[in-house]
C-alpha cells in the first residue's frame, strides 16, 4: 500500500489544525486507491486500527482553507469522509468550472 503523497499529507495536516485528534494517525494512514475524476480526486484509505475520537463523532472533516494551484483558477477544496471514527477517503474538488489533472506543483493554502 502507498503512503500519502505530499499534497494529501499537507491537506491532512491542515485539517488536523482544526481536529487535532487526527494528528497522531496521519503517519500511519495508507492508500488503497486513488481516482482522478477530472474535477477532483478520491483517495481511499486502508482501515486504521484505532478509531479517531473527533468532536461529536463527525462524519466529515472539512479543510477550512483554499488549496491554491497555479493552473486552477478558483482553487481546490477538500474533506475527509469518516465512518465510526475511521477515515474512509479524502475528497479533493475544484471550485468553478476548472478541471484538474492531479498535478499539484507549487500548491499553498489560504484562509477562506
pLDDT for res 56 = 66
| Pairing state between β 2-3 and 30-36 | antiparallel
For position 104, what pLDDT does the model report? 96
Instruction: Tell me what pLDDT residue 1 has.
Output: 86
Query: To which residue does cell 500519502 refer?
Result: 4
In the 3-class helix/strand/coil scheme, how is 16-71 assigned residue by residue? HHHCHHHHHHHHHCEEEEEEECCCEEEEEECCCCCCCCCHHHCCEEECCEEEECCC
* pLDDT score recorded for residue 81: 96
Residue 90: per-residue pLDDT: 98
Q: What is the pTM of this model?
A: 0.95
3-state SS string for 97-110: CCCCCCCCCCCEEE
pLDDT 10s digits, 48-93: 988 988 866 789 999 999 999 999 999 999 999 999 899 999 999 9
What is the average pLDDT across 4-12?
A: 98
DSSP code, position 12: H
Amino acid at each position: 500500500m502507498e503512503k500519502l503523497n505530499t499534497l494529501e499529507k499537507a491537506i491532512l495536516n491542515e485539517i488536523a489544525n482544526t481536529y487535532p485528534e487526527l494528528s497522531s494517525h496521519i503517519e500511519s494512514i495508507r492508500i488503497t486507491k486513488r481516482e482522478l475524476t477530472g474535477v477532483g480526486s478520491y483517495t481511499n484509505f486502508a482501515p486504521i486500527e484505532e478509531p479517531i475520537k473527533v468532536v461529536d463523532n463527525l462524519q466529515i472533516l472539512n479543510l477550512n482553507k483554499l488549496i491554491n494551484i497555479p493552473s486552477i483558477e478558483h482553487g481546490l477544496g477538500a474533506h475527509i469522509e469518516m465512518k465510526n471514527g475511521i477515515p474512509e477517503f479524502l475528497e479533493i474538488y475544484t471550485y468553478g468550472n476548472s478541471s484538474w489533472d492531479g498535478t499539484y506543483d507549487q500548491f499553498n493554502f489560504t484562509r477562506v
